[in-house]
Structure 1
């Protein structure tokens, strides 16, 4: 566990995380209504590590706010790219609003 804590801190500063997006599709119309984001850790030696293996460690060692901030900033950057490429507008805004009202989350948003 101590090794994972140390590696996790380095992973945040080395930007070793990736977000994967899963669309939420309306059955009635087939249109995309939004998406869920899944963070994975692209560990240099162990490969892809799923969230259950590192989220609780991030919470325990006080790195969860940094990780949450990274997720939010990355999701906002991706949303901006989709808006530019596909002309879609604010499909993920409800997710961002829900994220911001969670206590003890970063208050800084960079878009």
Structure 2
């Protein structure tokens, strides 16, 4: 159950703080938190790009706005994959995210 919470955005704090002795849960919780931070940063960056393109040329901003739901769907798919792998006792390594989370 705690591994599922690890990939539900800020709910990853619960297993991180509660299950301090379980190394597997800690690994998933740390990766879930880093993944959440990366998603927020990328989403903010994407919004800024869309706003700038919308101000410069309205049509181009509208086209790039279509990337937002695609990015959100990709986020959902990654979270589901991480949960399924975690429940089955495996780890889903995400390039960049996993390396950063392993440092802490």
TM over 0.5: no
Higher gyration radius (CA): 2
* Structure with greater helix percent: 2
TM-score by length of 2: 0.37
Higher relative contact order (CA 8 A, sep 6+): 2
TM-score by length of 1: 0.35
* Structure with greater strand percent: 1
